[in-house]
Amino acid sequence: MSLVLTAARRLAALGLCAAAAIAGPFTTLPAHAAAGADLYITVTPRDGGAYSMHLTCDPDGGLHPYPLAACDALRSVDGYLPDLEVDPGPCPLVWDPVEVEVTGHWYGRPNPYYEEFANRCAMERKLGPVTG
C-alpha cells in the first residue's frame, strides 16, 4: 500500500513541476504587485477575546473580513493610520479599553501603529473597517 502512495505522490509532484514549468512565464506578478500593503492587525480587548487579521492591499485580500473597505479607508490616508477618522462622533464614556497594534508595510514603507482606545466604539469610529 505504501508503494502505491509513494508512486502517487511522485506522480503528483511531477505534475505540479510540469505545470509550473509550462505556466512559469504567464504567472509572474506585475512589477507594482510587490509594492502593495501587507499588514498584520491585532485587536486586544481588556476583557479578552483578542483577534488578529492579515490584510493585503493591491491586491485587496488576506485573512480580513472586509479587505476592500479596509484598503479603501487606508488608501484615503496613504496608509497613515493616525490620520484615519472613519466616523467621527461621540461615544459613551465607558472605560473598557481596546488595544490595536498594526505591523507590516504600506507600499514598501514600514507602517507600525499602536493605540489604546477607551472602548470599542472609539476604536470603530477611528479605524472603521480596518479592525474588522
pTM more than 0.85: no
Q: Tell me the domains of the chain and their CATH numbers.
A: 31-131 (3.30.350.10)
pLDDT at 19 over 50: no
Tens of pLDDT, residue by residue over 68-124, are 999 999 999 999 999 999 998 899 999 999 999 999 999 999 999 999 999 999 999
pLDDT at 26 over 50: no
pLDDT at 5 over 70: no
Contact 119, 91 (CB under 8 A): yes
- Return the pLDDT at 88: 86
Q: How far apart (Å, rounded) are the C-alpha atoms in residues 113 and 108?
A: 15
Q: How far apart (Å, rounded) are the C-alpha atoms in residues 81 and 92?
A: 23
Three cell numbers, residue 11? 506522480
Q: How many CB atoms lie within 10 A of CB 39?
A: 24
DSSP state of 8: H
Q: How many residues can be counted in the chain? A: 132
When mean pLDDT is compared across 34-43, 51-60, 77-86, 101-110, the lowest value belongs to 34-43
Beta bridge partners of 113: 102
Give the 3-state secondary structure of residue 32: helix
Which one has a higher pLDDT value, 30 or 61? 61
pLDDT at 12 over 60: no
- Return the pLDDT at 15: 44
- Return the pLDDT at 29: 39
